[in-house]
Chains A and B, each alone.
Chain A
Amino acid sequence: MITIKVQTAPFDPGELTNSVHAGDAAIGALVCFTGYVRDFNQQQTVQGLFLEHFPGMTEKSLQRIAELAGERWPLQAVHVVHRVGQLELAEPIVFVAAASAHRQDAFEACAFIMDYLKTRAPFWKKEHTAAGSHWVEGRFSDLEAADRWADDQESP
């Protein structure tokens, strides 16, 4: 079961974790990742973030990434929640959960989804600092991280 949400509203990672499991006894392992707004980047103090996205394509991209994970690992559930708009320091940005019978599949699927999300889903961060606001530059290390799954047959 795949659940994709792109929303401006804050979310509670703990509540989401429990909702993914939802008493499903087939789930033996649930791996969750939460990404937060941190207070520094590229040697500047960050005061907050604005997240832009491409409505429509964003949801389709996340759905496709989750489907690819499901083709690669036996998963009971995948949840992806990503915020857009204005975010404050320390707030959660993204939540990814992969549920499987066994831990290795859940660990790998969660990492795969995050690596693909970072490089293939149309989100852009703009950081607010004391010196003004600027768009965050994409990192080639993120592309390299996604490349480790490169024996995929197709791309989202």
Chain B
Amino acid sequence: MITVLFFAKYKEELQTERLQLDWQQDWRTLGDVRDHLARRGAPWTILEDSTLMCALNEEMCSLNTPVKAGDEVVFFPMVTGG
């Protein structure tokens, strides 16, 4: 299993805050998890947004970051604090 969280615009448009996904043997990176979700079609294609940011286990990372079963993956739009 893998846990995926969404924030802000993504959370609203997907009407989803948290997902539990079965681990797929061919997943290597966060990008693979993102692609898996985007293949569901609209509205999940919002995750193909060029300004998408991500985190792994509460650390900012990139779509190239390796992922493993049990991880917590987070997808969110560009941050706008401050």
Contact = CB atoms under 8 A, between A and B. Distances in A.
A and B bind: yes
Given A54-B76, A121-B82, A122-B79, 9 more contacts: A94-B82, A118-B82, A123-B79, A123-B82, A124-B8, A135-B77, A138-B51, A138-B80, A139-B80
A38 B12 CA distance: 25
Given A52-B8, A135-B8, A135-B9, A123 B80 contact: yes
Contacts of B9: 124, 135
Interface string A92-130: 011000000000000000000010011111111110000
24 contacts: A52-B7, A54-B5, A54-B74, A54-B76, A57-B55, A57-B58, A60-B59, A82-B82, A93-B81, A117-B82, A118-B79, A118-B82, A122-B7, A122-B81, A124-B77, A124-B81, A125-B80, A135-B8, A135-B77, A136-B80, A137-B78, A138-B78, A138-B79, A155-B60
Given A124-B7, A124-B8, A138 B81 contact: no
